[in-house]
């Protein structure tokens, strides 16, 4: 198993297919969160969501998540 010291970065895919995230947001990586699953679990606590969009999953920061 390989350790990546910076962990796995999950960045926001923006409010829709044509629009980049205005904040260029990325989930802040917490100590001990190394995998995509762990980082996304951290993000959910901060209001991040994942949505299926055009056949793939998009990660959305709290600011880009549709109300």
Which of 8, 21, 38, 58 touches Zn ion (CB under 5 A)? 21
Cα gap 47→20, rounded to integer Å: 18
Specify whether the CB–CB gap between 64 and 27 falls below 8 A: no
Q: How far is the CB of 17 from Zn ion (least distance, A)?
A: 13
DSSP string of 42-66, one letter each residue: HHHHTT-EEEEETTEEEEE-TTTS-
Q: How far is the CB of 31 from Zn ion (least distance, A)?
A: 24
Comparison of 33 and 61: residue with beta carbon closer to Zn ion: 61
**41 interacts with Zn ion by CB under 5 A:** no
Residues of the shown chain interacting with Zn ion in the complex, contacts defined by CB under 5 A: 12, 21, 25, 61, 64
């Amino acid at each position: 198993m390989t350790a990546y010291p910076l962990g796995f970065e999950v960045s926001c895919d923006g409010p829709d297919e044509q629009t980049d995230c205005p904040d260029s947001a990325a989930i802040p990586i917490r100590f001990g969160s190394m995998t995509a699953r762990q980082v996304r679990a951290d993000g959910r606590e901060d209001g991040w969501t994942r949505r299926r969009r055009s056949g793939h999953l998009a990660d959305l920061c709290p600011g880009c998540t549709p109300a």
